[in-house]
Amino acid sequence: MQVQLRDPNIIMKLSRLGSFHQSRLSFLRSFLDEFKDWEYKNDLFDLDENGFGTAIYSFKKKERVYSLICFANKISDEERSDRVIATKWDAAFTLHDGIPSKRDIERLKNEVPKQEVGRLSYKELTLSRANKSVRVFNHVVESLSKGQQPDLDLLSKVGYLYRTTAVYGSGKFGLADRFRIKNREEINGPFRLEMMLVYLVRQFTFDQVNHVAKFKNPKTAVKLDSSICKNLGIGNSTGLGMAPFIVNHPTLLNNWIMSREIALKEIREIKKVNENEIKIFNNSLKNSIKNITTWNTDSEYQLKKINSLLNNIQKFLIFIEKEFNFEIDYPFNEIYLWLEQNTCEECTEYVVSMMLEPFDRIVKPLISKMSSDEDQYFTIPTYRTVEDLRNIIEKRYPDILKINFEKKENNKNFWFISKNKEEPRYADRFEENGSELEQPLAIARDIKKLYEVLLVSKNSLTIDKFLIENSDLRHVVRRAFIIEKFPYSEIQDNTIGEEVIPIDMLRLKLSFFGALKFDPRSDKWLRICMFQGAPLPIDLKNFDQQWVYNS
């Protein structure tokens, strides 16, 4: 039986993309798989009694070493902010390529805590900063110093000791350009070094909290239990900065979604599944319910989604237990069809993630295909004709062509870069100034504009000649030729309309990172948790692949 890949015109809608969940393809999980055989080491731990100072952690294999350098600094409560306008953080981090020299550490001590206004070098790969969850951190210090383990209820409500507020890579602020390292086998997957940074930061937070507790009361202090550590992750506050990324990297976006879609298609095409595969699927599904029931948020929007997801999952579990027989042919195809018929988008995508769990043989080869050499697709094939381009647009953007951008509600917002922080922002064009400096992120509107010009152009006109008169449409001409080859490269929605919920775009990217417990704080930023339940570095050699559900 042959199953078709799902229709991009359905899958690439924002509401669907905003319903994605972590899966076996997620970057933090593939990072752990890749680095499980590397030698992990804490090379330096030079903190004072209050936990301020420098620490270094590394992963090493043969001649290759990656070192996380941590700088923990004292800041006042008033200075602590997750917003991008902050200038000081409890700790700042960089991932250094190799073993840092003393000179490197001195240089980085000056630059890394400054973050966006500091300068890094080609020897640094990623950069980040994080703030304590003061309430949790202090509680843990207090408990440990008295010889007690902390209150698990409090810990499970928050889920982490520290929250990062940005993780930068790929040439930002002088960091190494991707091309310098792209041929390294171990990073043949997107965001692998960003994941490494976050993972090692997590370990630093445990070591720091133990260290401070020990100094507070050396006689009675105990260490944070490793099973508790395992259930803590790293928080992250994410704003709009992430949203334009998925628009600006169309082939990369395609490769992420395509990998997921290919995996789903191949799983639906499996005629018979074995007992072990059924067991992994069922266990993952049942155990994952805990991740939904411990999902805390004050966001009404998210609470509604969580409730709907929980109800639908329960309905699905009843179906699986009472009505479904895995011995039928193509059982996962039947499951998928049932989900489409009987559950919400979020539940369907949730179970799709679960369906990937038993099938490493399908998923693993796809992981290495999730990167993209984007420059390869940058040049416009200008020998093609207006007719070709029009056909592509009609085929690939059918719903977008139906949008009337003359209507105010469809043209309501604009994306811009703020002058003070050089970060993407989103505002109402009819109420705020600056729409004349709009970023080229209103793809749906510009594709429609391109289509209207193509309709009155000569079919046989080649694109080189078309572009002479239509230079203002060049950016979308390029995209249309990209989507011809990469069907999942474009969000099939209007990203400037009144109804847009920008966090759907963040949610898509974060699900591929492997984030859990999306907690929207508004329609423009949210908090998440990463690596919660993940093995600790010392346990990496042999760990449960379904740790996300089984912790």
Partner 1 sequence: MKSLSEIDTTSKRASRAAGFSWGVSEEIGKSIRLLELFGFQGVKTLNQYYETKPNQKFENLNLINEKNISENNSFCPITLGVNFLDQIRSIEKFKVITFNKVAFPLLMLPFLSRSSEIIGKKINVKFDQIEFLLNLNVNISSNILNQSCPISAENIVVSILENEDNFSEQEWKSLYKLSEDTFVEETDSLKEGAAGAGLTDND
Kind of pairing between the strands at 233-238 and 526-530: antiparallel
**Cβ proximity to partner 1, 179 vs 301, nearer residue:** 179
Beta strand residue intervals within 62-107, DSSP E: 64-72, 91-97
* Rounded Cα distance, 349 and 507, in Å: 13
Scanning 126-134, 348-356, 474-482, 538-546 for contacts with partner 1 by CB under 8 A, the matching segment is 474-482
- Yes or no: say if 260 and 11 are a contact pair by the CB < 8 Å rule: no
The distance of closest approach from Cβ of residue 81 to partner 1 in the complex, given in angstroms and rounded to an integer, is 26
* Rounded Cα distance, 381 and 539, in Å: 50
The distance of closest approach from Cβ of residue 99 to partner 1 in the complex, given in angstroms and rounded to an integer, is 21
How many Cα atoms occupy the beta-carbon half-sphere of 44 within 13 Å?
A: 17
Q: Tell whether residue 183 is a contact of partner 1 (CB under 8 A).
A: no
3-state secondary structure of 509: helix
* Rounded Cα distance, 451 and 100, in Å: 54
Q: Tell whether residue 166 is a contact of partner 1 (CB under 8 A).
A: no
Residue type at 72 in one-letter notation: A
> ∠ at Cα 58 (56, 64), nearest 5°?
135
Q: Tell whether residue 301 is a contact of partner 1 (CB under 8 A).
A: no
The distance of closest approach from Cβ of residue 413 to partner 1 in the complex, given in angstroms and rounded to an integer, is 18
Count residues contacting partner 1 (CB under 8 A)? 34
Provide CB contacts within 8 A for 505, sequence distance 6+: 14, 17, 18, 242, 243, 246, 491, 495
Q: Tell whether residue 174 is a contact of partner 1 (CB under 8 A).
A: yes
x-or-dash string of contact with partner 1, 67-106, rule CB under 8 A: ----------------------------------------
- Yes or no: say if 298 and 380 are a contact pair by the CB < 8 Å rule: no
3-state secondary structure of 364: helix
The distance of closest approach from Cβ of residue 279 to partner 1 in the complex, given in angstroms and rounded to an integer, is 46
The distance of closest approach from Cβ of residue 378 to partner 1 in the complex, given in angstroms and rounded to an integer, is 6
- Selected from 187, 306, 477, 516, the binder of partner 1 by CB under 8 A is 477
Q: Tell whether residue 482 is a contact of partner 1 (CB under 8 A).
A: no
Taking CA atoms, 253 is separated from 151, 212, 245, 304, 509, in Å, by: 41, 42, 9, 28, 9
The distance of closest approach from Cβ of residue 546 to partner 1 in the complex, given in angstroms and rounded to an integer, is 37
CA 21 to centroid of chain Cα atoms: 10
* Rounded Cα distance, 435 and 428, in Å: 9
The distance of closest approach from Cβ of residue 467 to partner 1 in the complex, given in angstroms and rounded to an integer, is 6
**Cβ proximity to partner 1, 170 vs 188, nearer residue:** 170
**Cβ proximity to partner 1, 3 vs 417, nearer residue:** 417
* Rounded Cα distance, 84 and 505, in Å: 18
Q: Tell whether residue 176 is a contact of partner 1 (CB under 8 A).
A: yes
Q: Tell whether residue 500 is a contact of partner 1 (CB under 8 A).
A: no
CA 89 to centroid of chain Cα atoms: 22
**Cβ proximity to partner 1, 201 vs 380, nearer residue:** 380
The distance of closest approach from Cβ of residue 420 to partner 1 in the complex, given in angstroms and rounded to an integer, is 15
- Selected from 440, 449, 453, 545, the binder of partner 1 by CB under 8 A is 440
Q: Which of residues 105-164 bind partner 1 (CB under 8 A)?
A: 121-122
**Cβ proximity to partner 1, 57 vs 415, nearer residue:** 415
Q: Torsion-angle region of residue 129: left (phi > 0), alpha (psi -120 to 50) or beta?
A: beta
- Selected from 464, 498, 499, 544, the binder of partner 1 by CB under 8 A is 464
The distance of closest approach from Cβ of residue 125 to partner 1 in the complex, given in angstroms and rounded to an integer, is 11
**Cβ proximity to partner 1, 93 vs 168, nearer residue:** 168
**Cβ proximity to partner 1, 329 vs 452, nearer residue:** 452
The distance of closest approach from Cβ of residue 331 to partner 1 in the complex, given in angstroms and rounded to an integer, is 45
Q: Which of residues 379-418 bind partner 1 (CB under 8 A)?
A: 379-380, 382-383, 417
Q: Tell whether residue 471 is a contact of partner 1 (CB under 8 A).
A: yes
Residue type at 316 in one-letter notation: F
Provide CB contacts within 8 A for 128, sequence distance 6+: 92, 93, 94, 164, 166, 167, 168, 194, 197, 198, 201
Q: Tell whether residue 341 is a contact of partner 1 (CB under 8 A).
A: no
Question: What are the structure tokens assigned to 208, written together?
Answer: 């720091």
- Selected from 42, 156, 170, 551, the binder of partner 1 by CB under 8 A is 170
HEC letters along 142-202: HHHHCCCCCCHHHHHHHCEEEEEEEEECCCHHHCCCHHHCCCCHHHCCCCHHHHHHHHHHH
Question: What are the structure tokens assigned to 341, written together?
Answer: 């018929």
The distance of closest approach from Cβ of residue 330 to partner 1 in the complex, given in angstroms and rounded to an integer, is 41
How many Cα atoms occupy the beta-carbon half-sphere of 26 within 13 Å?
A: 29
- Selected from 13, 172, 223, 315, the binder of partner 1 by CB under 8 A is 172
Q: Tell whether residue 275 is a contact of partner 1 (CB under 8 A).
A: no
The distance of closest approach from Cβ of residue 469 to partner 1 in the complex, given in angstroms and rounded to an integer, is 9
The distance of closest approach from Cβ of residue 249 to partner 1 in the complex, given in angstroms and rounded to an integer, is 12
**Cβ proximity to partner 1, 343 vs 413, nearer residue:** 413
Q: Tell whether residue 37 is a contact of partner 1 (CB under 8 A).
A: no
**Cβ proximity to partner 1, 244 vs 358, nearer residue:** 244
Q: Residues interacting with partner 1, by CB under 8 A?
A: 121-122, 170-179, 375, 378-380, 382-383, 417, 440, 462-465, 467-468, 471-478
